[in-house]
Amino acid sequence: MEHIPENTHIHRDDEASKIGMWLFIFTEMLLFGGLFIVYSIYRYLHPVAFELAADELDVAAGTINTVILLISSMTIAMSVSAIQKGDRKKTLMFLGATLFLALMFLVNKYFEWGSKISHGLYPGSDSLHELGHGDTLFFGLYYFMTGLHALHIIIGVVLIATVMYRVYKSRVREDKYALLENTGLYWHLVDLIWIFLFPLFYLVT
């Protein structure tokens, strides 16, 4: 790239930062990919227990969270379109909607986990111990994988809030929005992981 504009004082490479974000996303895909292998092998070894245990999960709660995450993916994609158009107000509006949906996801998850725990279904509980090996594995994986995913949602909430502040302060703007774009990529990754978690834990019974 020999055409460097004369007004460039500080070195900035948005393309490189995006490639860096993608490389991070690949490590995340491999992390969850490994967990999916653990899940599928244990499902193969304990087919009946996994089917019965998956029946315990609330399909409605899972579906609502799927819809919430899909909509939030759209709103953050829209916020990227908005900043490219230079529309700061709409960018903030779409980011705010994404933040709200992320919190809704966590509230839903709280009630879902809460009802499972009140039924005595949590790692190390007596009722899980009585149900046997397969159920223990299923719920162990359920809490670990949805928990790790929820941790990613919480990190996403912090990231989106940071971007909102920077957009508000015009530090992220029409000609400098790599942070927003990368936050968008991260948020889509969180959506991507849930797209596979949802059928494997809630639907395949």
Q: Which of 12, 20, 55, 63 binds another protein (CB under 8 A)?
A: 63
Q: Whole-number minimum distance, CB 170 to another protein, in Å? A: 18
With respect to another protein, which residue has the nearer C-beta, 33 or 114? Answer: 33
Q: Which of 16, 67, 154, 155 binds another protein (CB under 8 A)?
A: 67
Residue 107 sits in the site that holds another protein (CB under 8 A): no
The helix (run of H) or strand (run of E) holding residue 68 is: helix 59-84
Question: Can you tell me which residue has the tokens 């009722």?
Answer: 127
Residue 73 sits in the site that holds another protein (CB under 8 A): yes
Q: Which of residues 76-105 bind another protein (CB under 8 A)?
A: 77-78, 80-81, 84-85
Q: How many CB atoms lie within 10 A of CB 129?
A: 12
- Quick one: which of 107, 32, 36 has its CA closest to 68? 107
- Binding region for another protein (CB under 8 A): 1, 15, 19, 22, 26, 29-30, 33, 36-37, 40-41, 44, 59, 63, 66-67, 70-71, 73-74, 77-78, 80-81, 84-85, 184-185, 188, 191-192, 195-196, 198-200, 203-205
